[in-house]
Amino acid sequence: MNGFERRKEAKKEQILEAALTLFSKNGVQETNIQDIAKKANVSQVTIYNYFINKDKLIYEVANTFLEQQMQIFEQAILIEAPFTEKIKSLMEQKLTFSSTYSPDFIYLLVSDRKDIEELVTQYSNERSFPLLQQLIQEGRQSGFIDETLSDQSIFFYLNMFSNEIRKNPLLHTDPASLTKITEEMLHLFFYGLIGKK
């Protein structure tokens, strides 16, 4: 890649990061190309030179976002750490994610836009699910997950936690309580309402 291509790619990344920042803070619908151009310190024409329209930009931002989140997810699972620490890290990441990104932006990732739906499915099938299966197997081997439980049931259980964290605003109103909430949710995750026997 020569100097011109590097500068061109850097400019594109600059636009994507500006768009992601504004989408995550203000929502997709409330952010226009003029806002993104100002944030990225480029002209609107420059943005249209890289992206045909706002829909194309939204798709590229979603792809950039998913790649960033996947790298964080991979790091949390592949790191050398006890199974319980990995689960704690994933819960903390989900809480941080839900309090950082606007509901409008999160909805974009589960919307009925076919191109983004296909993108999310691709990330899930090719990268996310294999890592979750690896984590589940690790949990079984370390004695934290009952070997008689199916992967399907465990996925349902994990998604239940994940979805509630994402949509419940009570979990994000007081940042100071994040550690306490995480510890309590970990206890519920591993021991249920009854607790240790």
CATH number at residue 32: 1.10.10.60
> What residue numbers bound the domain in which 168 lies?
55-191
Question: Within a 13 Å sphere around the CA of 186, how many CA atoms are in the beta-carbon half?
Answer: 18
Domain count, the chain: 2
Q: What is the pLDDT of residues 61-116, one digit of tens each?
A: 999 999 988 998 899 899 999 998 898 888 878 777 766 777 667 777 766 688 98
Nearest to 90 by CA among 157, 158, 142, 139: 158
Length of the chain equals 197
CATH number at residue 100: 1.10.357
Residues 6+ away with beta carbon under 8 Å from 124: none
Q: Please tell me whether the overall predicted TM-score, pTM, comes out greater than 0.95 for this model.
A: no
- CA dist 90 and 147 (Å) reads 22
